[in-house]
Amino acid sequence: MIKIQTFNKISDKGLNLFPTQYYQVSSDCTDPDAILLRSQSLHDMPLPNKLKAIARAGAGVNNIPVDKMTEFGIPVFNTPGANANAVKELVIASLILANRNICTGWHEALSLKGQDVPTQVETIKKQFTGTELQGKKLGIIGLGAIGVKVANAACLLGLDVIAFDPHITIKNAWQLSAKVEQASSMNAVLGQADFITLHIPYTKHTHHLIDENSLKQINPHSILLNFSRADIIDSTAVINALNNNQLSQYVTDFPTNELLNTANTLCLPHLGASTVEAEENCAIMAVNTLRRFLETGEIENSVNFPTVNMPYQGGVRFCIVNRNIPNMLGQISSTIASKELNIKDLINRSKKDIAYTLIDVEDANVDEALSLLKQIDGVINCRKLLPNDN
Ligand code: 3PG
């Protein structure tokens, strides 16, 4: 049995894809082969002995100690794009909510209970006059799956869109509306936009990307939206900017106590990907990715491992994780040859410090070769598979 430990609410549409004759899936399983989760933090969790993979049903992987997993040769997967539409819709909704002062107006309307409500609403409404999106400028930092969808939707709403992403992929560039203006720097976006939305992952490089200095570039009438991660923005600097009228409103999916106590914030409880459709899409994609890795050794959508696809050629498949250093492949193939095993197919790919090799060999008697492969200096882990035979 392959054991999968789950954390958080994972849609049954995905979980039901694990065949019950081969997989045991539960939230309280011990010594799992793989972990499937959403936002649960694994930073303080001891590493289970048999752990082979972690799949994040969602985009952000800052809750997973990715560097540590890489050191132990464990791939971390995510589901890029699977919840992008849900986030896009919430970003657009929040833009309208904030720009038309809908939440504050609604709150005030509720406070009229028991009074002459029809008369009172006509009196109070002047406090909540908003502006329209059409013709205003939306600045986007990050054109991944979500940023591109937000950009395209904003263009359709009549906004002018300016965006910055020095690492945009060819696939995302193809999907981006030709109307989107390309900015040469983040500050060019901050300085021109009426609304600014961030769609980048949280890493040590994006920690407090928006800080006191960058907030000074922003027009005081601007609204800043954060549906990415809390610490991409220095919230103390944002609170100061709001209090000093250097920023008009801050919309965030990652509230803190201080933000909840600050005027002109719109705080949501991390709802970006919380739709039935997104939860299903993420769970299905995560389970399929995980099964593929566990059953065939192939890798797709990993944040720390290279993409590796190799159709199964029969016989036994070795899946070898090794350090990305010279002469690993030479040692691996001569070890296999030393046991007189014929290689039918082989693929080797690397990503930064890690390399991953799949080798299909003809013969079934491979255990000695497997134990020798594990002893090669630089091999981090190695397993054998008979794909489609769990
Ligand atoms: C993500 O990283 O995909 C989103 O922030 C959603 O997180 P969640 O799965 O915990 O809702």
For residue 127, report the distance from its CA to the centre of ligand 1, in Å: 35
Residue 10's Cβ-count burial label (10 Å; 0-12, 13-18, 19+) is buried
Whether residue 287 has pLDDT greater than 90: yes
pTM value is: 0.94
pLDDT at position 50: 96
Whole-number average pLDDT of the chain: 97
In contact, 99 and 235? CB cutoff 8 Å: no
Please write the tens of the pLDDT for every residue from 339-361. 999 999 999 999 999 999 999 99
Whether residue 164 has pLDDT greater than 90: yes
Q: What is d(CA 225, CA 141) in angstroms, rounded to the nearest whole number?
A: 11
- The pick from 83, 276, 277, 284 for probing ligand 1's pocket by mutation, whose C-beta has the most ligand atoms within 8 angstroms, reads 83
Among protein residues, the one with the nearest Cα to ligand 1's atom 2 is 60
For residue 268, report the distance from its CA to the centre of ligand 1, in Å: 13
Would you give the DSSP letter of residue 253? S
Q: What is d(CA 353, CA 355) in angstroms, rounded to the nearest whole number?
A: 7
Mean pLDDT of 262-275: 98
3-state SS string for 12-74: HHHHCCCCCCCEEEECCCCCCCEEEECCCCCCCCCCCCCCCEEEECCCCCCCCCHHHHHHCCC
Whether residue 390 has pLDDT greater than 60: no
Would you give the DSSP letter of residue 342? P
In this prediction, residue 223 has a pLDDT band, given cuts at 50, 70 and 90, of very high
Q: What is d(CA 142, CA 209) in angstroms, rounded to the nearest whole number?
A: 12
In this prediction, residue 229 has a pLDDT band, given cuts at 50, 70 and 90, of very high
In contact, 315 and 361? CB cutoff 8 Å: yes
For residue 39, report the distance from its CA to the centre of ligand 1, in Å: 6
pLDDT at position 234: 98
Q: Which of 170-184, 281-295, 350-364 has the lowest mean pLDDT?
A: 350-364
Q: What is d(CA 143, CA 168) in angstroms, rounded to the nearest whole number?
A: 6
Compute CA distances 227 → 47, 49, 124, 232, 266, whole Å. Answer: 30, 35, 31, 10, 12
Mean pLDDT of 221-232: 98
C-alpha count within 13 angstroms, C-beta hemisphere, residue 278: 19
Compute CA distances 133 → 149, 156, 194, 226, whole Å. Answer: 17, 11, 9, 18
pLDDT at position 389: 58
Residue type, 384: K
Whether residue 363 has pLDDT greater than 90: no
C-alpha count within 13 angstroms, C-beta hemisphere, residue 257: 0
Please write the tens of the pLDDT for every residue from 121-158. 999 999 999 999 999 999 999 999 999 999 999 999 99
pLDDT at position 313: 83
For residue 250, report the distance from its CA to the centre of ligand 1, in Å: 20
pLDDT at position 338: 94
Mean pLDDT of 163-178: 97
Whether residue 388 has pLDDT greater than 70: no
In this prediction, residue 387 has a pLDDT band, given cuts at 50, 70 and 90, of confident
Q: What is d(CA 13, CA 150) in angstroms, rounded to the nearest whole number?
A: 27
Please write the tens of the pLDDT for every residue from 48-95. 999 999 999 999 999 999 999 999 999 999 999 999 999 999 999 999
pLDDT at position 365: 75
Whether residue 335 has pLDDT greater than 70: yes
| CA of 227, closest atom in ligand 1 | 5
Closest by CA position to 3, among listed 235, 22, 17, 15: 22
Mean pLDDT of 164-176: 97
Ligand 1 binding pocket (C-beta < 6 A) is 38-39, 58-60, 83, 270, 272-274
For residue 142, report the distance from its CA to the centre of ligand 1, in Å: 17
pLDDT at position 139: 98
Whether residue 325 has pLDDT greater than 80: yes
